[in-house]
Structure 1
Amino acid sequence: MTKLFDYRRAGQRVLAIEIAALQGLQAFIDESFVRACEMMLHCQGKIVVMGMGKSGHIARKMAATFASTGTPSFFVHPGEASHGDLGMVSSQDVVIAISNSGESDEIIALLPVLKRWGNALICITGNPDSTMGREASVHLCIRVPSEACPLGLAPTSSTTATLVMGDALAVALLEARGFTADDFALSHPGGALGRKLLLRTSDLMHSGDELPVVPCHATVRDALLEVSQKGLGMTTIVNQDGTLAGLFTDGDLRRILDQRIDIHQTRIDAVMKRGCVTVYAEMLAAEAVQLMQQRKINGLVVIDKQQKPVGAFNMHDVLKAGVV
């Protein structure tokens, strides 16, 4: 009978090796790391990250993380850079070059040009005595005891260490800049976090002719027509001076029908809900949703400083905007 391969043991061995590699990486968060951060923080251009092969994949992720956390950055493929893409780099940019061996031919070929332009060069390698290590303005070491690959060939522990070193740089710069959640949202307007941090109730609400509103002296029938025409499942009721008097919803309709009220004769202010929940246009949409959930209501009225209704929205609008 064929013995089953122990996949779990193999996976656990990989984790143990890579955890040990990351623990050893702490020794390299040193003065060189501080100098690299200062160099990037005071960069007058952008951070250009480059690497070949697996290091290139890590470089792309590193550039993306920098860019999304307040450090303008982009990736340049070293091979393409030798054939024109180096024109994307300006003399004010800080270049981060990644190679575990420190002997990437494609990157080494670019060093004379970068030196001539006066670019600050941060090299991340596993060998400080390599060509890239010696030529760097600042060298960050990511040497690991061993790769997780049992053949010692596939970049595993070394790429993990490089990725974490990049995250350490990005987060250190984020904190140094005082980068906030609002700043993060501005660079992620299409994401769920961006919507939660950027959208206001003013972005959700129906206003102007779309706002359901009737005066206090209107009949229940008039209010029902407004609810039906505006399609929000509710209507606001206003006083003579335009201030909010109350709210009438689909739920209120079911309640008064049970009471056999004459909808043609009864005034809406006799059956409306007084003291309804309101918000201001500046409130974050996410906060408004939380309020709706807490109060177990399906819609909200937006008022101005004079207590006049300026808009309204319901949970359907919230879902459509992707806030939840």
Structure 2
Amino acid sequence: MDHSYPATTARPAVHPGPRGVSVVIPFRRFDGGLEEAVASVWAQRGVTAEVVLVAAGAPDRDTLRAERLAAKGPCRMAYQAAPARGAALARGIATAGAAIVTTLDSETVLTPHKLAADAGIVAADPRAVAVCDLERTCPGRGDGGAVRWSFDALDAVRGGALTAHVASHARSLPRHMTLSRALYGRTTGFDTALGAFADWALAIELTGLASGWVRTPRVGLTWTPRPDRRPVETALWDASLDLHLAFLRNGDMLATRFGADALTFLKCAAETLVVSTQMRMAWAHMDDRATFPGHVLTDLRALRAALAAAPGTPRARLEAAYAALTVPA
């Protein structure tokens, strides 16, 4: 398969939808901080902003309070059973409606022009797939301005060295990010502490391997379908196959490190491209089995083997591989 996607577009590819910014706010419980954070988003000037509240393992009572809050302004609700930050952000990003997505902690209040400034950087520079808050990444700098986030330091990192590199550079990674949805839709969010480094490890693995992404000099990636691939749906299935191959090459690491969350990462990434009924049926089957971590590893290995053996177009290969998972042995 030819993986040379020419970077010919003038702007990053984004999902169609209203202009503006979606702000993903995961929460585990409802408190006064959440209400203030949401109010600060709705008070933004110079840009249309919506809130995406993700109930990440929150109790029913707190989820109901959040739903009542969501009814007061532009807001969407998403629900994520696992409280893991990465999985919650991925769920929120899949729910977001705007072309630009940013993250926010439930205890953080935005200044009135923050989103307009970040969105301006992303919109003005076709290579600027990410901006971060200097105030959080460089405490010694008092300017707190927004900057483009470079992937330069990670270009040479491959394979097993990747996780060690990410873990050893945790302090340099931004806590809050604003990105074009075209890139962020395939990632699971960012966190300075990293925990099990699910956020950055998966994002970097996929950006380096999925051929639907074009590495551009110094500042990340942008997605452009191959010019010979039309209609768009064909290009999306092509990219989805590349995405799965990239993910499954790292399937053992993801399954053993993150367990059932690995399935959430795969689903949320795939859903930003194109999904069939057969894929959803197989995901439900895999979710049912994921209560035991060993089943996640077994299923991802089986999916990789089935995908390698399946003939035909990218769509035919993906659907045949997923169908094989739901057939009793």
TM (norm. structure 2) is 0.20
TM (norm. structure 1) is 0.20
Query: Whose Rg is larger?
Result: 1
